[in-house]
Amino acid sequence: MATMPRADLEARPGMVVALRLRLHNRMMAAALVRPMIDDWVASDGAILPAGARIEPAYAYLLQGAEVRQTITLRVPLHLPEGTRLTSALRFPGIGEAAVPITLRILAGDEGLAPMPALECPLEVALPIGDAAAAGSGGGDEFGSVAQASYSLVAGLAGLDMLPARWLVAELLTAACRLGDEQLQTDAGQALLSRLGRTRFFKNGVVAFASAQAPRWILSGLSATAGLHAAMGGQQGQGQLLYIWERWLLGLADADIELGGPQAEVVIPDAQLQSFASTLGTQADRWFASLLLGLAALSPRMDSVLRQIAERAPEAPATPDAPSPASGDDVLGEDGSLGR
């Protein structure tokens, strides 16, 4: 039987308590970890605010990985010696079980220097309890289906709480990378050459630059990559798209009809951040790549963009006229937005 984690503390009024969490994911899927602390309940039934501060506030924890978080609490003031407070550490969306926290108030030291924070290391395996959701399915021929279904449910639940910025930044970069590949083809260059002579294109570049969209995307990518790098993984594996790709291709790892495991499908690193760095903060390159990426992904968008391109004025007769594909700064061109 697994040992249930708990924290039994003794501290003086006004002291800071630092819970040093070491969380281990033994579930079958990645999980968004966002701990919360209940308010203190005193031995006489009084409710006192815990005032918990959690750093980092959340972490995306891959299957089998570990992450550290720190929760700081301040012991309420003006409590008599011997008062017993109880609370609980919970992990919403991961399970109903909680880590019990008890705190016994020691005699206060009036007039003395502030006491250092009370450090309390705490190891927690998620989900809490004996029933870990990481089984291989045993001999059950439907074990792989159960595992895939659980992973999907857990992944969707995590997205409900995850800041959308991370995922949007990755989706935009992936679409731009596809557009950059299209730009290497004759058809892509021809489409962008015509789009680049439209008011639509220049207005889009101005909007991207004014909103500082490239910096916003680069910042979002740095957050996901930095988070996973801090957990000891490869940079690209911290990206949400990588996690979902791994789930999708993981469906091929076991064949229900054959009943035996198959060779693991290897997923190459997407390298979204390294691609984004090649575009830098150039709004025209981002917008151009995004247009071609959307055209490649959506027949509907491809049709609309080609309609816009057909209305573009003819290219100037000068043979050396610059094209948006060359990476020149469209914001530095002369002329109005209504050209």
| Per-residue pLDDT at 154 | 66
Average pLDDT over residues 125-150: 60
Average pLDDT over residues 235-251: 70
| Per-residue pLDDT at 253 | 61
In angstroms, what CA-CA distances link 249 with 149, 237, 245, 258, 328?
A: 14, 15, 6, 18, 39
| Per-residue pLDDT at 226 | 59
Percent of the chain with pLDDT over 70: 71
Instruction: Give pLDDT tens digits for 82-92.
Output: 999 999 999 88
| Per-residue pLDDT at 326 | 43
| Per-residue pLDDT at 155 | 67
| Per-residue pLDDT at 61 | 80
Instruction: Give pLDDT tens digits for 49-90.
Output: 988 999 988 887 877 888 899 999 989 888 888 999 999 999
Tell me: pLDDT of 278 over 50. Answer: yes
Give the closest residue to 198 by CA, choosing from 264, 287, 88, 265: 287
| Per-residue pLDDT at 114 | 62
Average pLDDT over residues 312-336: 56
Burial grade of 300 (CB within 10 A; 0-12, 13-18, 19 or more): exposed
Supply the mean pLDDT for the chain. 79
| Per-residue pLDDT at 328 | 45
Q: Where are the chain's structural domains?
A: 7-113+122-126, 163-332
**7-113+122-126: CATH topology:** Immunoglobulin-like (2.60.40)
Instruction: Give pLDDT tens digits for 159-172.
Output: 666 667 888 899 99
| Cα 207 off chain centre by | 26
Residues 23 and 61: beta-carbon distance below 8 Å: yes
Give the closest residue to 89 by CA, choosing from 133, 47, 134, 54: 54
Instruction: Give pLDDT tens digits for 177-187.
Output: 999 999 999 99
Instruction: Give pLDDT tens digits for 184-206.
Output: 999 999 999 999 999 999 999 99
Average pLDDT over residues 222-251: 65
| Spatial distance between the Cα atoms of 307 and 158, rounded to a whole number of angstroms | 40
| Spatial distance between the Cα atoms of 58 and 202, rounded to a whole number of angstroms | 39
In this prediction, residue 128 has a pLDDT band, given cuts at 50, 70 and 90, of confident
In this prediction, residue 221 has a pLDDT band, given cuts at 50, 70 and 90, of confident
Give the pair of three-digit tokens for residue 40.
């203190």
Instruction: Give the CA dihedral 125, 126, 127, 133, nearest 10 degrees.
Output: -100
In angstroms, what CA-CA distances link 330 with 172, 204, 213, 216, 322?
A: 21, 10, 16, 20, 10
Local structure of 66: helix, strand or coil? strand
In this prediction, residue 332 has a pLDDT band, given cuts at 50, 70 and 90, of low
Tell me: pLDDT of 139 over 50. Answer: no
| Per-residue pLDDT at 30 | 74
146 compared with 100, residue with greater pLDDT: 100
Q: Name residue 214's amino acid.
A: P
| Per-residue pLDDT at 331 | 53
